[in-house]
Amino acid sequence: MCGIFGIVTQEEQTLGPILIAAARRLSYRGYDSVGCATLHEDGSIDLRKDVGKVDDVAERLNFAEMSGRRGITQLRWATFGVPSQVNSQPHLDSDGDLVGAHNGNVVNNIELRAAFIAEGMTVRSTNDGETCVHAVERYVDRGYSMLEAIRHAYEDLEGDYAFVIGRAGEEELYAFKKGSGLVAGLGEGFSCVSSDLPSILPLTRHVLRMEDGEIVVLRAERLTLIDVATGQPISREIEEVTEGMDAAQKGGYAHFMLKEIHEQPQVAQELLHLFDASPHVAPFVEQMRRARNLYLIGCGTSYHACVAGSVYLARLAGRPAIPVLAPQFIPQYAPTVGPEDVGIFVSQSGETKDVLNALHAARANEMQALGLVNVIGSTLTKKCDRYLPLACGYEISVPATKTFTNQMLAFLYLAMRLGGHETESLQQLPALIEQTLRETEPQVAALVDSLRAWDEFYCLGYGSTYPIALEGALKLKEITYAHCEGMLSTEFKHGPLAAVRESYPVLFVSGPEDVPLMISGINETTVRGGKTIVIAEEDPRLRANAHKMITLPAAGPLLTPLLAVLPLQLLSYQLSLARGYDPDFPRNLSKTLTVD
């Protein structure tokens, strides 16, 4: 998840230390490269950038000496274009008199780049941040003012992003928002803009929160909001922020895990926009189509997404796919695979050692390799034939939440494309996720007191909700330290039912088509004294048989699993707090496992 910061001052001064400090405050968002640009009163632009961490690049390129009246810094999280110096941001236009940087994804990047090249522009990178600069350049070159050029560029740029840009010879910076976060600040003798509050608060507490479809014009002494659609000024009061830095980094949430749970509507929307516009999806699907055998390979949460993917592929594309834990792939399947087989390797970090080991074993037998990965430029992206990004941004909390949702959504999208189905129905998902979080959070909170003392649970699912049961159980183990076993509901009677005693908690996750089967499992538990909690769409049969019910919005069999994981994430989070643990950093665990 990229981060941008821009500042305008009354007079030329050394801006490097301010830009470095702002970049450091944005570094929690995750990044692979960093850059700074300053605009001088004489019309020159000083641009320095490279791959690496803020302090390393700043020292190597001497950011601290950079001066000017206006400055921009950017941390890049690669989606379009590999991590490299040329793809690092900020970017210049063809003539070097515009400089800008963005946060987010411009999903028609490839098409616009081709158009800009055809129009004779100098396109230096494959990064969509440069595309934003050229989108403005196109209209400046046609004689439009900066403000009017930005209004036209806004219409050309598709996706979810925020962008800041300046022009040599002017006094202003301009920033606009379309889906990604953006907030402006006003201090004594300066104004500034950033992806989020943490990089602004040490400078000023007076901020202007922006909405989609708005441009902010930054001058040293004032901020002006403009409506993109009409070009008219917008009147909005500047507010004074009282929250501390830690709360601001977490977006006002108590923990990164809760923040990332609530980011799921946004990242799902960004992934759908990205896949709809990406030219890489079709060849990815075609490679799946031609496979003799299709394997879905991951670890932990990613493996659970693979299990869900195998169900989606069978249902929607009539295509068998074998989900397998990455270490087990090596003894169980690697000796049998060949050039006609395809593996989809799934990883949040792209550096998981078990997954890379499986990939190495597959490559030794010339198996084709595809990747679903969140970190562009990671080892996995370099080793696969092709990959698709998960577009989740940085996930700080150790328990995976938004990355799991987008992994599942990616598999659902690919299964629909492989089966020849239209994907427009998925556009309702972000709103459904938001509704589910809003409606289930209080339902979950009401259960916490009755569950907090238990050190063991079962979480049961069937069909498309079986992987959700696995994932829910993993979340409970990770951050509450209570043992929770996730399993197929029909397997419960084959032994584990013996564990049930008075008030013993058993969670059931049901799809709308599996209600009769679930009712049998519920009653096998309740007649032995167990306490049953069902997560499902409203159904009078389930409500009549279970002790408690967490109700999901009606979404149908394909989307219910994606919604059902949300209350399990919330339950894990709230139980963790009730038991006195930090959900962001559970003991003994690491975000990226790079050892065998």
Residues in the chain, total: 596
* Element containing residue 207 per DSSP (H, E): strand 206-209
Catalytic residue check, 591? yes
Q: Is the residue at 312 inside a domain?
A: yes
| Cα–Cα dist 330/351, whole Å | 17
Spatial CA neighbour of 8 closest among 192, 170, 168: 192
Spatial CA neighbour of 222 closest among 184, 194, 166, 196: 184
Spatial CA neighbour of 404 closest among 557, 572, 552, 519: 572
Last residue of a domain, one of 181, 216, 240: 240
291: domain CATH number is 3.40.50.10490
- Residues 168, 80 within the same domain: yes
How many domains is the chain partitioned into structurally?
3
- Residues 51, 194 within the same domain: yes
- Residues 401, 475 within the same domain: no
Q: Is the residue at 249 inside a domain?
A: no
Q: Which of 177, 299, 353, 591 is catalytic?
A: 591
Q: What is the pTM of this model?
A: 0.79
Spatial CA neighbour of 481 closest among 456, 450, 504: 456
Last residue of a domain, one of 240, 268, 284: 240
Please state the three-class secondary structure of 426-450 as a single string: HHHHHHHHHHHHHHHHHHHHCCHHH
Would you state the structure tokens that stand for residue 331, as one six-digit string? 């003894």
- Residues 203, 270 within the same domain: no
Q: Is the residue at 136 inside a domain?
A: yes
Q: Is the residue at 427 inside a domain?
A: no
Last residue of a domain, one of 184, 215, 240: 240
- Residues 127, 54 within the same domain: yes
Cβ count near 516 (within 10 Å): 9
Q: Is the residue at 336 inside a domain?
A: yes
| Cα–Cα dist 158/165, whole Å | 17
- Residues 541, 459 within the same domain: yes
Q: Is the residue at 386 inside a domain?
A: yes
Catalytic residue check, 2? yes
- Residues 539, 393 within the same domain: no
Q: Is the residue at 245 inside a domain?
A: no
- Residues 387, 503 within the same domain: no
- Residues 70, 128 within the same domain: yes
Q: What is the pLDDT along the chain (596 residues), one digit of tens a residue?
A: 578 999 999 999 999 999 999 998 888 666 889 999 999 999 999 999 999 999 999 999 999 999 999 999 999 988 888 899 999 999 999 999 999 999 888 989 999 999 999 999 999 999 999 999 999 999 999 999 999 999 999 999 998 889 999 999 999 999 999 888 889 999 999 999 998 777 888 999 999 988 889 999 999 999 999 999 999 999 999 989 876 666 557 777 899 999 999 999 999 999 999 999 999 999 999 999 999 999 999 999 999 999 999 999 999 999 999 999 999 999 999 999 999 999 999 998 888 889 999 999 999 999 999 999 988 878 898 899 999 999 998 788 889 999 999 999 999 999 999 999 999 999 999 999 999 999 999 999 999 999 999 999 999 999 999 999 999 999 999 999 999 999 999 999 999 999 999 999 999 999 999 999 999 999 999 999 999 999 999 999 999 999 999 999 999 999 999 999 999 999 999 999 999 999 988 887 755 554 45
- Residues 480, 389 within the same domain: no
| Owner of token pair 């929250």 | 243
| Cα–Cα dist 588/162, whole Å | 37
Please name the amino acid found at residue 496.
P
| Cα–Cα dist 393/412, whole Å | 20
- Residues 326, 279 within the same domain: yes
- Residues 528, 594 within the same domain: yes
Q: Which of 2, 299, 384, 392 is catalytic?
A: 2
Residue 289 belongs to what domain range?
254-422
